[in-house]
Amino acid sequence: MGVRAEATPNPNALKFTTDKLIFQGDASISVMPGDTSEHAILNDLMEVDGVDNVFGYQNFITVNKGFDTEWDELQPKVIEVFDKHGLA
């Protein structure tokens, strides 16, 4: 089924859900600008132009975009990162 993008109450955030487990355990992971993570997919997402921060838990990652970025341009780039990591 691949990756599904879902709207959130925040118009600058989309939740990307997969059928595969991305993160083990019950802890969530957040990466803010200037931070790095032990999870390569989060670091790769943070390198995408227009991504402001990311939040991951089990089988989803919520991506927050910058105010001057449009989802039409950003969403395919986010999906590419999921695909690179075998999740799309």
* CA dihedral sign of residues 23, 24, 28, 34: negative
Q: Where are the domains of the chain?
A: 4-33+43-84
Q: What pLDDT is recorded for position 88? A: 81
* pLDDT the model gives residue 42: 98
Q: Which residues of the chain have a pLDDT value below 70?
A: 1
**CATH topology assigned to domain 4-33+43-84:** Ribosomal Protein S8; Chain: A, domain 1 (3.30.1370)
pLDDT attached to residue 2: 87
Q: Read off the DSSP letter of residue 30.
A: E
- Per-residue model confidence (pLDDT) at position 80: 97
Secondary structure of residue 45 in the 3-state scheme: helix
Cα–Cα nearest to 80, from 21, 2, 1 = 2
The answer to whether 14 and 62 have CB atoms below 8 angstroms apart is: yes
Q: Which residue has the tokens 């395919």?
A: 76
> What pLDDT score does 21 carry?
95
Burial label for 54, CB within 10 Å (0-12, 13-18, 19+), is: buried
- pLDDT of res. 1: 59
Whether the pTM exceeds 0.75: the reply is yes
